[in-house]
Amino acid sequence: MLNMDMSQYLDVFLEECKEHLVNLNEKLLELEKNPQDLSSLNEIFRAAHTLKGMSSTMGFNDMAVLTHHMEDVLSYLKEGVIKVETPIIDTLFDCFDRLQVMVGNIQEGKPPVDNTDLIEMLESIKKGEGNSASSEPGDRSSVVTPEHEDKEHAAYVSMPFEFNQYDLTVLREVQTRGLNAYYIAVKVAPDCLMKSVRAFMVFKSLETDGEIIKTHPPAQELDEGKFQDRFHLILVNQLDEDTIRQRINNISEVEPEVVQLIDLNSIQKTGADAQADQRPAVSPPTQAAAAGEKAQEDSFRSSKVKQTVRVDIEKLDNLMNLVGELVINKGRLEQIGLNQHRGDLNEVIEQMERITSDLQNVVMNVRMVPIEQVFNRFPRMVRDLAKELGKEVNFVIEGKETELDRTVIDEIGDPLVHLLRNAVDHGIEYPEERRQKGKPTAGLVRLVARHEGNNVFIEVSDDGKGLDLDLIRRKAVEKGLATAQEADNMTAAQVADFMFRSGFSTAQNVTDISGRGVGLDVVKNKIESLNGDIVVDTVWGQGTTFKIRLPLTLAIIQALLVKVGDETYAIPLSSVDETTMISKNDIKMVQSQEVVLLRGKVLPLVKASYLLECPEHGNNEDIMYVVVVRKGDKQLGIVVDSLIGQQEIVIKSLGRLLTGIPGVAGGTILGDGAVSLILDPGTLV
């Protein structure tokens, strides 16, 4: 009768496990940095405890046992029986790793893991340092199961059921067939995390040879975990009371509070006597209890990280595409509306516009994810790498709340891993070397993300030895990428750019600098495939900064449509500062560069028809339209033939065959069905 599926909980379980693991990892790192930090220790303890509860609920005993032992050690740490020391932290990290493996195994349906090695380590930590018999972890008071008070409640528990005529018929039938009908109240431990699962397990166990004919609260609410610490049911079977109790007792975190044979006569009486007699008896205590539990539940909720739904990214993409089509068609409708001059039509179109833009925002937001997701795994990675190499590294993350489109998030991880590894491995010097150079022994590696206009910038920087540009120059000449003279005349940025050439630093030249180049071309390709770019900035002896620019890939943007010759182009509004009209006479020449004075400032001008290699056209009118765009920190005036107006456009990729055309950011489909190109002022000139 209940259609509950365990796999449904498995998803929730995995999702929550991952959240707790992330938290655990973060706090472990904090604790390592600051061993006196009791709050992170508490957090770790909580995470371990929660994981233990959840995994035992779901029957993943390997995980439950390991977390239980972790909890023991953690409680010793909390009580100060043992001190926070590196080997202990390392062990805890190992446990964390193992937990991650286990979660992965569960997800992939692999068998449980043998954790005896870790458990022994945890045991020896406990024994080795905490042999003062004073505190037996078994009676630690951190989590009290308030059993006693609930025993008192039990007295008040009575059947919350009302029986209608149908139920009574069923019960009578049961009796005539020689079966027993039981009223059962099951109490769930107050700190039970997955109550619905517990309910499900109880039901499953009881339904093997019986039938549950009624529940309170209704099955649906049980399914959603919408109940306090107990639920009630009417069970029909042949078993005796003790067997039922035993069965329920076999499931952890629940206990049978009442198992009572239903006396049909008494039911009829209560049924007839109306609820007046029964209700008040039940209500006061449950309400009081409910209030308390509510509060408890609320605090539990707020401490929970987030409620999430996992959605296949493909579905989101589909949704996004559909919204894109909708926006295109809305644009067409608007054009029709302009020609029709009909009040009612325009009204509907306006409504449509509001709805589509809301829809669009929602969909966009769904796809936006804080970059934290990617960044979170880095502190651990950097720490491990530094330890392995015997270096000291301070790792600083900034702007992890910066939001990016999901598609970008999924792709950006690997390039960042690469850059960070490079920074630690090749950038940061060994402590001794740093001391000699007069630098602090601990190197600094910074990972910074921030929004800027329609882009997200991610910087990976280190204060290590920097790049040996001369060596790169020599290497470039050696490889025939440039002549000696060319190389000498190149700027630092141009030289550093060689590192992104594929195969530039292959096997044999993995010396001081060149290890840095390994795979950097892969990094660059990846970033360019995301329509971003990467530049490197380095000062010999002082460090290196890789700066990645990524588009938000807002698939829908506001753009200014302009005409150049008879072609229509779209310029993202985000890079347009203003538009203005000038007369031919306003144009002045400064060193063969056309400029115009705009409110006293000199604005360089370029003709779009020239930039875009338009076929010649005879626009010799005196008035010209100028779109003032921002390019880096400079302004530039692009001369166009006319301005069409502002419009929402859907960015469509031009496909793999047309990537990397300077100045063209993509295409869009206009209201009339024609393709128009989106200009990227950043790379146009």
Partner 1 sequence: MKEIQVVAFTLGSQEYGVDILDVQEIIKVLTITRVPRAGRFIEGVINLRGNVIPVFNLHKRFGVPPVEDKGEARIIVFQFEDTRAGIIVDGVSEVIRISVDDIEDAGKVYQNLDADFIQGVGKVKGRLLLLLNVKKLLGLET
Position 527, amino acid = I
By CB under 8 A, which span of 18-26, 323-331, 363-371, 430-438 interacts with partner 1? Answer: 323-331
Among 281, 295, 389, 661, indicate the residue that binds partner 1 (CB under 8 A): 661
Number of H helices, E strands in the chain: 24, 22
Least Cβ distance, residue 356 to partner 1 (angstroms):
16
657 forms part of the interface with partner 1 (CB under 8 A): yes
**Residues 89, 581: Cα–Cα separation, whole Å:** 67
Can you read off the two tokens belonging to residue 95? 């446990």
Nearest Cα to Cα of residue 271 among 159, 162, 160: 162
* Count of residues touching partner 1 (by CB under 8 A): 28
Residue 662 binds partner 1 (CB under 8 A): yes
In the list 28, 649, 664, 665, the residue contacting partner 1 (rule: CB under 8 A) is: 664
Q: Which is nearer to partner 1, 572 or 667 (CB)?
A: 667
Among 63, 409, 472, 669, binds partner 1 (CB under 8 A): 669
CB 308 within 8 A of CB 15: yes
Shortest Å distance, C-beta 458 to partner 1: 26
236 vs 333, which CB is nearer to partner 1? 333
Buried b (16+ CB within 10 A) or exposed e, 71-103: bbbbbbbbeebbebeeebbebbbebbebbbebb
Residue 313 near partner 1 by CB under 8 A: no
66 touches partner 1 (CB under 8 A)? no
Q: Nearest distance from residue 629's CB to partner 1, in Å?
A: 17
Secondary structure (3-state) at 193: coil
Between CA 639 and CA 370 the distance in angstroms is: 39
CA 217 → CA 5, 151, 248, 520, 655, distances in Å? 19, 21, 18, 60, 55
Task: State which amino acid sits at residue 98.
Answer: R
Closest by Cα among 533, 564, 571 to 651: 571
- Binding part of the chain for partner 1, among 77-85, 169-177, 235-243, 665-673 by CB under 8 A, reads 665-673
What residues contact 57, with CB distance under 8 A and at least 6 apart?
Answer: 192, 193, 194, 197, 198, 252, 253
65 vs 557 by CB, closer to partner 1: 557
Residue number with CB closer to partner 1 (41 or 679): 679
The reply to whether 656 sits near partner 1 by the rule CB under 8 A is yes
CA distance 641 to 619: 7
How is the chain split among helix, strand and coil, in percent rounded to 5? Answer: 50, 20, 25
In terms of CB distance, is 334 or 567 closer to partner 1?
567
Q: With b meaning 16 or more CB within 10 Å and e meaning fewer, what string describes 25-42? A: bbbbbbbbeebeeeebbe
Q: Say whether residue 653 binds partner 1 (CB under 8 A).
A: yes
Residue of 10, 258, 652, 685 that binds partner 1 (CB under 8 A): 652
Which whole-number Å values give the CA distances from 635 to 535, 602, 629, in the listed order?
21, 9, 6
Q: Decide whether 322 or 484 has the Cβ nearer to partner 1.
A: 322
Q: How far apart are alpha carbons 400 and 517 in whole angstroms? A: 27
Q: Which is nearer to partner 1, 79 or 567 (CB)?
A: 567
Question: Of residues 25, 115, 237, 422, which has the active-site annotation?
Answer: 422
Q: Which of 614, 643, 644, 685 binds partner 1 (CB under 8 A)?
A: 614
Pairwise CA distance, residues 69 & 45, whole Å: 11
30 is annotated as an active-site residue: no
Instruction: Respond yes or no: is residue 422 known to be catalytic.
Output: yes
Nearer CB in complex with partner 1: 74/664: 664
Nearer to partner 1, 599 or 656 (CB): 656
332 touches partner 1 (CB under 8 A) = no
Applying CB under 8 A, which part among 35-43, 241-249, 255-263, 663-671 lies near partner 1? Answer: 663-671
Beta carbon nearer to partner 1, 240 or 672:
672
Sheet with 588-590, side-by-side order of all strands: 576-583, 623-631, 634-640, 601-607, 593-598, 588-590
Please give the backbone phi and psi of residue 565, each rounded to the nearest 5 degrees, phi first. Answer: 60, -130
Please, where are the H alpha helices in 109-194? 116-129, 147-156, 165-176
Residue from the set 288, 313, 396, 658 that interacts with partner 1 by CB under 8 A: 658
Residue 317's CB is within 10 A of a number of other CB atoms, namely 14
Task: Determine the Cα–Cα distance for residues 276 and 147; give it in Å rounded to an integer.
Answer: 30
Give min distance, CB of 674 to partner 1, in A. Answer: 5
Distance in Å, CB of 314 to partner 1, minimum? 13
Q: Is 124 in the site for partner 1 (CB under 8 A)?
A: no
In the complex, the smallest distance separating the C-beta of residue 492 from partner 1, rounded to whole angstroms, is 28
487/649 with CB nearer partner 1:
649
Give yes or no for residue 673 binding partner 1 (CB under 8 A). yes
Rounded CA-CA distance 118/92 in Å is: 9
663 binds partner 1 (CB under 8 A): yes
Segment lying near partner 1 (by CB under 8 A), choices 224-232, 381-389, 620-628, 658-666 = 658-666
State which of residues 365, 675, 680, 685 lies at the interface with partner 1 (CB under 8 A): 675
Supply the minimum distance, in Å, between the C-beta of residue 363 and partner 1: 17
By CB under 8 A, which span of 422-430, 461-469, 549-557, 660-668 interacts with partner 1? 660-668
154 in contact with partner 1 (CB under 8 A): no
By CB under 8 A, residue 617 contacts partner 1: no
When binding is defined by CB under 8 A, the residue of 130, 379, 667, 681 that contacts partner 1 is: 667
Please, which residue, 324 or 399, has the CB nearer to partner 1?
324
User: Distances in Å between the alpha carbon of 392 and those of 29, 423, 445?
Assistant: 14, 12, 10
Shorter beta-carbon distance to partner 1: residue 160 or 663:
663
- Longest alpha-carbon distance in the chain: 108
- Residue 619 backbone phi and psi in degrees, to 5: -90, 100
Distance CA 399, CA 413 (A): 16
Taking CB under 8 A as the binding criterion, the range among 106-114, 117-125, 461-469, 669-677 that sits at the site for partner 1 is 669-677
The nearest distance, CB 613 to partner 1, in angstroms, is 5
How would DSSP label each residue in 458-504? Answer: EEEEE-S----HHHHHHHHHHTTSS-HHHHHHS-HHHHHHGGGSTTT
The correct pick among 186, 520, 676, 681 for binding partner 1 (CB under 8 A) is 676
Contact 375, 415 (CB under 8 A): no
State the minimum distance, in angstroms, from the CB of residue 673 to partner 1.
Answer: 6
Catalytic residue, chosen from 20, 32, 43, 49, is 49
In this chain, which of 456, 612, 624, 638 binds partner 1, going by CB under 8 A? 612
Q: How many CB atoms lie within 10 A of CB 260?
A: 14
Active site residue 49: yes
- Does 371 sit near partner 1 (CB under 8 A)? no
Asked if 602 interacts with partner 1 (CB under 8 A), we say: no
Q: Which of 224, 325, 388, 621 binds partner 1 (CB under 8 A)?
A: 325
Contact present, 230 and 188 (Cβ < 8 Å): yes
Question: How far apart are the C-alpha atoms of 282 and 157, rounded to whole Å?
Answer: 7
Site for partner 1 in 540-569 (CB under 8 A): 567
Active site residues per annotation = 49, 71, 422
Residues that bind partner 1 (CB under 8 A): 321, 324-325, 328, 567, 611-614, 652-658, 661-664, 666-667, 669, 673-677
